[in-house]
Structure 1
Amino acid sequence: MVRAPHDPQASDRVTLPPDAGLYVELALDVAEQDRLRAVAPGPVWFAEPDSASADDARVLAESHIALGNPGADRVARAPQLRWMQLASVGIDRYVGLDWPALEGRLTVTNLGGLFADPVAETCLAGILALYRGVDVLAGLRAGESWSKLDVRPGLRLLGGANVLILGKGSIALRLAELLAPFGCSVAHFARSDGHLRTRQELDARLPEFDIVVGLLPDTADTADLFDRRRVDRLRPGAVFVNAGRGTLADETALVAALASGRLGGAVLDVTREEPLPAGHPLWSCPNVILTQHTAGGSREETERILDLFADNCRRLADGEPLRNVVRWSQGY
């Protein structure tokens, strides 16, 4: 798997007391809890995800290490906290904190490229499902309707498709690898090293692409990047995929383009509102596959999170830079 390069900085190294306490806010079984006790430098406290317990808040405030995604307000009121390993790639929950003040004492690491394989595979699966009519056929099966002659003429081949991937992180690079055997032509939109680097280049070349895949973080630069004007610039029959952040696209414009038949489909792992409320047009919009923010999931998800945490614990003990340190000035 291709991984984005690591850029060590002084903040990647964290100094802790030898008996530093660990606060864990994850759903874990007994064996997983025992594994954490074996790698933690000091006592370990386990809390349920999104805990509202006053006892949990007190322990977090007294801990030096946190694993999971505790509430932002609780993190801000945890003066002893020195390192927080998120159980996510996204950092949206914590963006509003005073990082110019906090960053001097608190280092945050996220999951980096841990979800590259599952998210890339979900994107590919969704694209293939639309191209090969799997979504339509699944619905026909549910209704016991044999419609071979209606479905077959509309099936498409992925081979040779022109694909634009928004972003060039670990997921984007992995998806490009998965598309290569299909003979797809892949371009990246990325400010520093993309084939397209500016919004002007994006606007000029958007109509060239059969598939556009959003894999961007939620920043001021990426929010509403695909407004109505850019949705309208997608070529007729194009497939739009978003497995980055729900703020990327104007969903009203996307629904209109799909309902009219101008776009060939959408694969959406993320939406602006999650869970998607009952009655939302995306539930009934044609040619839409909703994967409900499951793209990063796998049976090995928790094990892989603990693997990363254990490796960072070893790095911490050996004085090495931690992996996947969040750069708050960059927004990811």
Structure 2
Amino acid sequence: MMIYIHFPLPEAERDLLTQALQTGVSSPDSSSPGVSTDTDTCVWGQDLPAAQRKEAFLQAEVVFGNPPADWWAESRNLRWVQLYSAGFDPYLALDWTRPELQSVTVTNLRGFFGQPVAETAVAGVMALYRKIDELARLQAQSRWVGGELRPQMNLLYRKRVLVLGAGAIGETIMKILRGFDCHVTLVRRSQAPTVEDLDELLPEADIIMAALPDTEETKNTLSAQRLALMKPSAVVVNVGRGSAIDEPALTDALQHNRLAGAVLDVTYQEPLPGESPLWSMTNVLLTQHTGGGYAEENADKVRVFLRNLDRYRAGEPLENVVDFSRGY
């Protein structure tokens, strides 16, 4: 079996993967991009010139990483791809009815980022409520005006929070907010309350947190019409996909104080264009799609791959198989 690693890893995480594969797979040494055992070969894309990586991919049975989508249809050997992301947007456009793709199983990191993203969502709201962002700007200017800010501060305590998406992120947000005695409502796809109930729920919410995937069903979930239903003191958080919110309508509402603030880990276009007014708005926190990051992130991704590799070798069902027909 040939395994192709299309995931540039730092030395420590690469060593973790190499050592774990020693019993069944040899990883490349300094003089060769791939070394074989009797049955297996592991090839690292980061050791190959860019022009040779596609050929290595086309020979592989197993791939760890997110290779370019236009390579997939040419492969005749591919059987399993473990993505290093929860998102798989680049692969949605592939024709999964083609015979060469029907035999490919794709697994992603669904649920992997629940804890860090939930912490970013809650931390962002607390930063706005407690004026941490503004205090940081004042510190950079050596200005002491704390007394003036105190009456403008808010508490997260007992706020009414609406979480759109009941996956790992939404569930973890709810768990964290229980410690603040918040009233949390999860909006689910197929269990009440659902998206159809949003028009009734939005006017009462203090905080609206979107943790939605990018599917046809979720696009513009928070439309201009729904944003208009929110009270002026409401804060909007997006830690799912930028497509879930009508971004121009959100920007306009924030500019004209029809909403109090926003925490945006994701935007419709990434990187966010330099001309976007969101960059300069003091009631907006842009966390630049860092919500899933933490020190052990890459090492834990390697561990997910290794656990699934054990299952693959044993002929057992893999974890987190993507259903492209459903978009998640």
The one-letter code sitting in structure 2 at the alignment partner of 1:32 is E
1:177 matched to 2:191? The reply is no
Q: How many Å separate the matches in 2 of 1:174 and 1:35?
A: 28
Q: How many Å separate the matches in 1 of 2:189 and 2:16?
A: 41
Q: Tell me, yes or no, if the aligned pair for 1:258 and 1:286 is still in contact at 8 Å.
A: no
Q: Tell me, yes or no, if the aligned pair for 1:269 and 1:291 is still in contact at 8 Å.
A: yes
Alignment correspondent of 1:75: 72
1:129 matched to 2:110? The reply is no
Alignment correspondent of 1:106: 104
Q: Which of 208, 213, 232 is residue 209 of structure 2 equivalent to?
A: 213
Percent identity of paired positions between Structure 1 and Structure 2: 43
The one-letter code sitting in structure 1 at the alignment partner of 2:2 is G
1:168 Cα deviation (Å)?
0.5
> TM-score scaled by structure 2?
0.91
Secondary structure of 2:97's partner? helix
Deviations 1:275-298 (A, max 9, x none): 112121110123100000000000
Alignment correspondent of 1:43: 41
Secondary structure of 1:157's partner? coil
Secondary structure of 1:54's partner? helix
Deviations 1:281-322 (A, max 9, x none): 110123100000000000000110011001001111222211
Q: How many Å separate the matches in 2 of 1:52 and 1:157?
A: 54
The 5 A counterparts of 1:1-332 are 20-37=1-18, 38-39=20-21, 41=25, 42-48=40-46, 53-101=50-98, 103-193=101-191, 195-199=192-196, 201-332=197-328
Q: How many Å separate the matches in 1 of 2:211 and 2:101?
A: 26
With 73-82 and 159-168 compared, the bigger mean Cα shift is at 73-82
1:189 Cα deviation (Å)?
1.1
Identify unmatched segments of 5+ residues in structure 1.
Answer: 1-19
Q: How many Å separate the matches in 2 of 1:52 and 1:221?
A: 40
Secondary structure of 1:163's partner? strand
Deviations 1:35-75 (A, max 9, x none): 334426521111249x9822100010110111111110012
With 143-152 and 160-169 compared, the bigger mean Cα shift is at 143-152
> TM-score scaled by structure 1?
0.90
Q: How many Å separate the matches in 2 of 1:52 and 1:94?
A: 24
Q: How many Å separate the matches in 2 of 1:96 and 1:52?
A: 27
Deviations 1:56-111 (A, max 9, x none): 00010110111111110012222211100000000101100011225520000001
Q: Tell me, yes or no, if the aligned pair for 1:21 and 1:43 is still in contact at 8 Å.
A: yes
Higher relative contact order (CA 8 A, sep 6+): 1
Deviations 1:112-165 (A, max 9, x none): 111111000000100110111111111111111111232111100111100010
The one-letter code sitting in structure 1 at the alignment partner of 2:193 is L
Structure 1 residues 123 and 318: CA distance shift in structure 2, 3 A: same
1:31 Cα deviation (Å)?
4.2
Q: How many Å separate the matches in 1 of 2:46 and 2:271?
A: 20
Structure 1 residues 58 and 227: CA distance shift in structure 2, 3 A: same
Q: How many Å separate the matches in 1 of 2:101 and 2:54?
A: 20
Alignment correspondent of 1:7: none
Q: Tell me, yes or no, if the aligned pair for 2:72 and 2:101 is still in contact at 8 Å.
A: no
With 36-45 and 273-282 compared, the bigger mean Cα shift is at 36-45
Q: Tell me, yes or no, if the aligned pair for 2:161 and 2:184 is still in contact at 8 Å.
A: yes
Q: How many Å separate the matches in 2 of 1:127 and 1:79?
A: 48
Q: Tell me, yes or no, if the aligned pair for 1:259 and 1:286 is still in contact at 8 Å.
A: no
Q: How many Å separate the matches in 1 of 2:238 and 2:253?
A: 15
1:206 Cα deviation (Å)?
0.8
Deviations 1:190-225 (A, max 9, x none): 1212x42142x1112210100000001000011111
Q: Tell me, yes or no, if the aligned pair for 1:166 and 1:213 is still in contact at 8 Å.
A: yes
Alignment correspondent of 1:11: none
Q: How many Å separate the matches in 2 of 1:141 and 1:29?
A: 35
- Aligned CA RMSD, in angstroms, stands at 1.6
Q: Tell me, yes or no, if the aligned pair for 2:157 and 2:181 is still in contact at 8 Å.
A: yes
Identify unmatched segments of 5+ residues in structure 2.
Answer: 26-39
Aligned residue pairs, count? 310
